Amino acid sequence: MIGLPINWTIYEAMGHSVKTGHPTTEKILPDGYWNYFATHPQEGRVFNEAMEAKAHGQIAGIIASYDFSGFHTIADIGGGRGHLLQAIIDSSPQTSGVLFDLPQVVEEAAGAASSRIKLQPGDFFHDELPRCDAYTAMDIIHDWDDEKALAILKAIRHAAPTSAKLLLLETMVSEAPGPDWAKMLDIHMLVLLGGRQRTLDEYTQLLRKSGFAFRREINTQAGISILEAEAV
């Protein structure tokens, strides 16, 4: 996936991001990074398979690090083809799930539907989200700048009943100086999407502004942390 020609073409124009703070893709791909893959299905397949492999490598650590059995219904926001939600459901026999993502993504995830997993197509910027007692969002918030990240979190809070849990699954930027994979990923997110990796303090502030109280960070030891928050 990293070797796809489009990724290298984007980085050739990285100066645009350095000078403006905006994604290089707005100069190279006027229709956006995601639309590029939609119109280049072979490259889109490589990208999707890479993201699935990454998710599978982290899901085991997530399931081992958190007890999901206390939830009646969990919504996975931007849950893709449902790999995380399926793993959660498998680990918690009393729990049901709702997979929420864009219509075309949900259509591809049709095989994930079951008596315990409902598929709900929609756009979290415009459509109503499901009402559940817990929400997961894996590698979603880092795709966006603060304004849009806050809009997503507020949409979840609007749907969430008081005391519902929100579990953000993200690679965290260390407060310590020095080389760090998350800092490299931060550059990658800026150049491709205009998004960013964040520190714990930055996530805590976003959660507070959107109506959630941060409760704890759980390091899964799989390159990703669980940030648990509660709707207040």
In angstroms, rounded to a whole number, what is the distance separating the alpha carbons of residues 111 and 88?
16
| CA-wise closest residue to 171 among 138, 149, 145, 144 | 138
Residue with tokens 């941060």: 214
| Other CB atoms within 10 Å distance of the CB of residue 190 | 20
Strand partners, 76: 99, 136
| CA neighbours closer than 13 Å in the CB half-sphere of residue 58 | 20
| Other CB atoms within 10 Å distance of the CB of residue 6 | 17
- Measured over all CA atoms, what is the biggest interatomic distance in the chain, rounded to whole angstroms? 51
DSSP string, 83-109: HHHHHHHHH-TT-EEEEEE-HHHHHHT
Given 16, 72, 83, 142, the catalytic residue: 142
Catalytic residue flag (residue 142) = yes
Measured between alpha carbons, how far is residue 221 from residues 61, 97, 225, 232 in Å?
Answer: 7, 25, 8, 29
* R_g (Cα) of the chain, nearest Å: 17
Contact present, 215 and 191 (Cβ < 8 Å): no
Residues designated as active site? 142
